Amino acid sequence: MTTYDAGDVTLEKVREYVWEIPQEGEMNVPARVLASEALLEEISEDKTLEQLTNTTHLPGIQKYAICMPDGHQGYGFPVGGVAGIDAEDGCISPGAVGYDINCLPGSTDVRLSFGRKMPIESVRDRFERERATVAGDSLTSSDIRLFTESGTKQVYEVQTATGETIEATADHPFATPDGMVELGDLEAGDEALVQPFQGIEHDDPEEFTVLSVDDLEDANPQIRSVLKNRGLLPLKSTDEAFNRLLKLVGFHLGDGSLGGEGQLWFYGEPEDLEGIREDVKAIGFKPSKVYSRDRDHDIEGETFETTEYSFKTTSKALRLTLQKLGVPDGPKVAAGFSTPWYLDRLADWQKALFYSAYFGAEMNAPAAQHDMNLYCPKVSQTRTVDTAGDGRRFLADLASFLGDLGIETNEIESFETDSNREHDTVRLRLGVKNDSANLIRFFETVGYRYNRHKRRLAVKAIQYLKLKEREIERREHIANEVRTLADGGTPVETLKEKYDINDRFIERSAWSGRKGRPRPGDAFPTFDEFCEQTTVSDDMTVESTIEHIEPAGEKAVYDIGVAHDAHNFLADGFVVSNCGVRMLKTNLTDSDVSGREEELVDALFDAIPSGLGGGGIFEGTKGDIDEILADGMEWALRNDYAVPADLEHCEDEGRRPDADPSAVSQKAKNRGKVQVGSLGSGNHFLEVQRVTDIFREDVAGEFGLEADQIVVLIHCGSRGLGHQVCTDYLREIEKAHQGLLNQLPDKELAAAPAGSHLAEEYYGAMCAAINFAWVNRQLIMHRTREVFADVFDREWEAMEMDLLYDVAHNIAKKEVHDVDGEDRELYVHRKGATRAFPAGRPELPPAYSDVGQPIIIPGSMGAGSYVLRGGERSLEETFGSTAHGAGRLMSRTQAKNTYWGEDVQDDLREQQHIYVKAQSGATVAEEAPGVYKDVDEVVNVSDALGIGDKVARTFPVCNIKG
């Protein structure tokens, strides 16, 4: 075979394993793919070749753009891509170093904490202080750790049978009853999980003091001290604690009471009370456990028993706070309370916190009035004759709030009641009008809090009313068509055959006309029947059938990542989802570890932080982070996390002198501060391995490797700090160098011209992120040494736990290379590729200057990994680079749909004696062995081309993943 046809691209075979896309049009150089025919077939299945061709348009690119045998589609630049770009006349591109794919148009509403929503584009400048709503075991909120954005992508509109609509890219994952599935793998008729509550548009509240020290001047000084210590005095309208207090006050006005000195009591179902208890704890107070007691009732001669559940707080400070915020002191019937004074100054979403908690306590649940029609949701209050005016004002303010949201209410009703022992009383009542559109608006935007039963029924009511409305619209459309056709002379019998609807409906539409809108047909379920057939999950999601998926043009797209293990968030009502390597040697053998694998993997998993979000081995100050960014491994040595030999066996001796901590944003530093010494998530891992094969005895001897030896592979990067650096500069480069961007075929290749201020700043920030990544892996190695010492009861030095090498994977470095017989300084971009310098290259540490650079290529959990050394032809062929791993065959979503994490763990343990532990089964499924290319073939190509020579092969013993 001398050519390979890959659709729109034809590759020409230069020699064995080298394929070229010839230079044509506006390409500055040809593109080359280094692969066997089998790997080339896999590489050509996604957009890798298109992205590689686009890369050749970058100004100053030299010789050719290169794709390694592990290549696959990335962001703008393929993963496994290498490009040498002139450092004087060329450019530097963040997309060619590493960045994430994005998925949702900017107008997509993301659900945030406290019942708010916001277009995802608006989340950009505030994501680090926001919490997104996540569908986990229950509906909860989670910190947003990542925000990504890009240029335009093709998006598709999804609409369900109940009217939910969203736009997303084809690779965006959607929650379904069968797990997360990419949009491109869904079709009409499939089920998606939706969460119909929409919430209220976020609006920054006016800042004012709700509770001041002066308001409590008569209070016990200890109470003031308690409130100050908890950040509740002064209490401002913009405080998060105030939002929680709004809910507590609203609920207590319905189902709360005051007890003995300092006591506040809350009544409800146990699962609802747990939510209230969480809010009490979040503002700094201790709730009691949930109590239960049986109570006897006698209503009009009918006796029955119920179980009452409640909890209390005994803090005088909390009780006084709630009283100052509107909880009446004494029986509510005579207390004369009305709307709290501050409520009319709040944002609508804050008012909704107060009222929805009140509705959770006081409003009746959605219920059928007659078959297909629902009752008006109502609230009522019993007041003394003297305080009835206050009650009317409370309900009038409530009606005004709902009216501002477009929700209509009935007139306030008043009923005489039997007077109680002390007072003459009246009953006041307010209801929400029960036409379908009005009820949908109410349930979608306000609804109920602290009452899961009512919330579930509200979800069902929303879906039922939307289905009912769509059925009415369908019948209305048919009726209009029938009337028009009948007037035009079409026989009624013909019309009966044309439409899938009963004959009587056709006759009435054609002959007698119709007053008003039609009703749903007899086959349409009643609300009670619909409720019996519909299941609402604990996270308040429900299945909805996809009606259509259609192209919606190209739009700028965005994405966020959350810290919650569920890795999803709510967008437009749908549930949607959410480096480098070093090797540590030991003098242990496989027999030393055999039988202790489970103990070892458990100890490593417990000791080394992993997963998305914060939490590391070390949490430093701003000064510490600046030192880490500037000094890299030298900081680790000064702080007793490293020994001198660690620096001597690390790329660049663990420090990039071009690092500029001042070029790293405070956002990036804040994210890095809590992540020093953590694995992260995705394909990052720590794996204990045994050496199974030695291919070059002499080189293996120089590396200190031998058969049956135990080694440890650590694969992770610069965590959220590095991601933020890329995000920050990609935005700035897109704005500042729009002219260059317009010349490129893909906006994801946004680049800063060499010599420009942004190019220098980005390079300094990226080098600082590299220093951070080295320290991150060093701390993990330090903790690994401690774990081995504990498990095997000997010092790590006695086990000769020495660093073999540490090499970066996603990087652009200034290096001097021969181009057409002339030495030129280049920005060598390696995205998902690794440096592979042969012996004699001056950048190598002295320990390897005569043998060549160690190269570490991780495989999948079930296939093993390789140690190579820099090949003699690497400088000529690939700017001194080779592959960095096996390369993905499946997206993470495809993997989770194909594999079940627990099954993968069981199979690896039972069939290959590999012990795997991870934060979740989904993580294991995403990294299943079948997800990756054949690492043996990837390495064989590298070895055959002389860019990376095989030295040793390893096989997993145990593995921990993020």
715 appears as a binding residue in the annotation: yes
Q: Which of 494-508, 541-555, 912-926 has maximum average pLDDT?
A: 541-555
pLDDT band of 101, cuts 50, 70, 90:
very low
Least confident of 480-484, 746-750, 833-837: 746-750
What's the average model confidence in pLDDT over 594-608?
89
100 appears as a binding residue in the annotation: yes
348 appears as a binding residue in the annotation: no
Would you state the pLDDT for residue 297? 65
Cβ atoms 174, 541 nearer than 8 A: no
Q: 104-195+543-576, which class in CATH?
A: mainly beta
Phi, then psi, of 482 in degrees rounded to 5: -60, -45
pLDDT band of 100, cuts 50, 70, 90:
very low
Tens-place pLDDT, residues 770-798: 999 899 899 999 999 999 999 999 999 99
Superfamily of domain 580-961: tRNA-splicing ligase RtcB (3.90.1860.10)
Asked whether residue 563 carries a pLDDT value surpassing 50, the answer given is: yes
Catalytic one of 57, 370, 884, 913: 884
User: Percentage of the chain surpassing pLDDT 70?
Assistant: 91
Which residue would you say has higher pLDDT here, 258 or 862?
258
Nearest to 262 by CA among 287, 229, 291, 228: 287
Q: Two tokens at 661? A: 């901590």
Tens-place pLDDT, residues 539-549: 999 999 999 99
686 appears as a binding residue in the annotation: yes
Would you state the pLDDT for residue 102? 47
229 appears as a binding residue in the annotation: no
Least confident of 204-218, 578-592, 904-918: 904-918
Phi-psi region of 229 (alpha: psi -120 to 50; beta: other; left: phi over 0): alpha
Q: Two tokens at 745? A: 């075929």
Least confident of 26-40, 209-223, 656-670, 879-893: 879-893
How many alpha carbons fall within 13 Å on the CB side of residue 17? 17
| Alpha carbon distance 67, 158 (integer Å) | 35
| Alpha carbon distance 405, 445 (integer Å) | 8
Would you state the pLDDT for residue 899? 61
Would you state the pLDDT for residue 269? 96
Strand order, beta sheet including 256-258: 256-258, 264-267, 302-313, 291-299
297 appears as a binding residue in the annotation: no
109 appears as a binding residue in the annotation: no
CA 123 to chain centre: 13
Would you state the pLDDT for residue 513? 65
Q: Two tokens at 772? A: 């951070």
pLDDT band of 578, cuts 50, 70, 90:
very low
Q: 209-450, which class in CATH?
A: alpha beta
| Alpha carbon distance 686, 960 (integer Å) | 5
Asked whether residue 699 carries a pLDDT value surpassing 90, the answer given is: yes
| Alpha carbon distance 818, 837 (integer Å) | 14
Active site residue 297: no
704 appears as a binding residue in the annotation: no
Which residue would you say has higher pLDDT here, 282 or 609?
282
Cβ atoms 766, 772 nearer than 8 A: no
What's the average model confidence in pLDDT over 811-826?
92
Which residue would you say has higher pLDDT here, 153 or 403?
403
What's the average model confidence in pLDDT over 881-908?
68
Per-position b or e across 264-277, b if 16+ CB within 10 A of its CB? bbbbbeeebbbbbb
Amino acid at 801: M
| Alpha carbon distance 703, 362 (integer Å) | 73
| Alpha carbon distance 522, 529 (integer Å) | 13
Per-position b or e across 366-391, b if 16+ CB within 10 A of its CB? bebeeebbbbbbbbbbbbbeebbebb
Widest pairwise Cα distance in the chain: 105
pLDDT band of 45, cuts 50, 70, 90:
confident
Least confident of 307-311, 488-492, 793-797: 488-492
Least confident of 99-113, 760-774, 813-827: 99-113
What's the average model confidence in pLDDT over 109-115?
96
Would you state the pLDDT for residue 302? 76
SS3 13: strand
Which residue would you say has higher pLDDT here, 295 or 805?
805
Q: Which DSSP helix (H) or strand (E) runs through 882?
A: strand 881-883
408 appears as a binding residue in the annotation: no
858 appears as a binding residue in the annotation: yes
567 appears as a binding residue in the annotation: no
Asked whether residue 99 carries a pLDDT value surpassing 60, the answer given is: no
Tens-place pLDDT, residues 62-92: 999 999 998 887 767 888 899 999 999 999 9
177 appears as a binding residue in the annotation: no
| Alpha carbon distance 859, 956 (integer Å) | 10
Would you state the pLDDT for residue 196? 95
Nearest to 249 by CA among 295, 219, 211: 211
| Alpha carbon distance 765, 441 (integer Å) | 48
| Alpha carbon distance 237, 654 (integer Å) | 48
Would you state the pLDDT for residue 888? 60
Tens-place pLDDT, residues 625-655: 999 999 999 999 999 999 999 999 998 899 9
- What does DSSP assign to residue 221? H
| Alpha carbon distance 630, 638 (integer Å) | 13
Which residue would you say has higher pLDDT here, 720 or 104?
104
Beta strands in 523-600, from DSSP E residues, in sequence order:
542-562, 569-571, 574-576, 580-589
pLDDT band of 195, cuts 50, 70, 90:
very high
| Alpha carbon distance 187, 135 (integer Å) | 23
User: Mean pLDDT of all residues in the chain?
Assistant: 88
Evaluate the omega torsion of the peptide bond into residue 234 and state whether it is cis, within 30 degrees of 0. Answer: yes
Tens-place pLDDT, residues 115-169: 999 999 999 888 878 999 998 788 899 888 667 665 677 889 999 999 999 999 8
What's the average model confidence in pLDDT over 196-204?
96
583 appears as a binding residue in the annotation: no
Distances (CA, A) of 489 to 484, 485, 495, 510, 740: 9, 6, 11, 10, 65
Asked whether residue 675 carries a pLDDT value surpassing 50, the answer given is: yes
434 appears as a binding residue in the annotation: no
Beta carbons within 8 Å of 422's beta carbon, 6+ residues apart: 334
Indicate the domain borders of the chain. 3-73, 104-195+543-576, 209-450, 454-533, 580-961
Asked whether residue 683 carries a pLDDT value surpassing 70, the answer given is: no
CA 108 to chain centre: 15
How many alpha carbons fall within 13 Å on the CB side of residue 934? 12
Would you state the pLDDT for residue 921? 66
pLDDT band of 498, cuts 50, 70, 90:
confident
665 appears as a binding residue in the annotation: no
